[in-house]
Amino acid sequence: GTAAAGGPAEDRPWAAGLRIPPGGGDRHQREGGGVPHKKIHREGENRQMAQLYFKYGAMGSSKTANALMTRFNYEERGQKTLLVKPRLDTRDGDHMVVSRIGLTYPCIYFDEMQQLSVMELQQNACVIVDEAQFLTREEVMYLVGLVDDLGIPVICYGLRSDFSLKGFPGSTRLLELAHTIEEMKTICTCGRKAICNCRKVNGRFVFEGEQVAIDLENDVQYVSMCPQCYFKAKRAFYAEKAASRVE
């Protein structure tokens, strides 16, 4: 189990689901862990090369397409990868990653990856996580364990913030812990750089509601916008709402 020497499992969140001895050096100690144990290295690999990458961008910045192209680039060179997404992401069907430009590839869910043995995980040259904003903070710590304890590079793609400009827990933790952070850029309909995500329900912009919308009855879409257009749409939303109360 995960409750090896070094303290109870709940004191070592990176070890949750990762069936290896705790340890991993200084980063784990800074998280409040116990005495590091023997590190686990992949044969023939310099462990120091492995990093945790977070590539974020607004909707429409080709995050999923880049995740699938990264997988292709690895496997074209004969290196196996593990393509993963959170189970919460159901928009593309069961065990599938689908990009807007039509690229698709089967994946496994994050909780399924957590059930893999060390030997099975170490068969992969890289772990690629799509829709990483839906990860929990604890799941991000599991990825830290893959990098620090097993020496497996992990590349995460996802949104930085939601439609109300609040950070997703998973994205916030990735911004705190990733070795390398890269912004993937896209543009607003006005031509400016888009960094905001705006929610449309049945064709109308909305600025209230749950962070994650799982709505099978309404047409829910997301549009990337520049701050100027985002706040203009937000002012119009609340002006219309105030007018309807007066009536």
Active site residues: 131
Spell out the residues 6+ positions from residue 212 whose beta carbon is closer than 8 angstroms to its own: 88, 134, 162
In Å, how far are 5, 41, 55, 90, 150 from 38, measured between CA atoms? 12, 10, 31, 39, 11
| 3 CB-side CA count, 13 A | 3
Residues 6+ apart with CB under 8 A from 142: 14, 16, 17, 18, 114
- Strand pairing class (196-201; 108-109): unpaired
The radius of gyration of the chain from alpha carbons, rounded to an integer in Å, stands at 20
Type of residue numbered 148: D
27 CB contacts (<8 Å, ≥6 apart)? 144, 148, 177
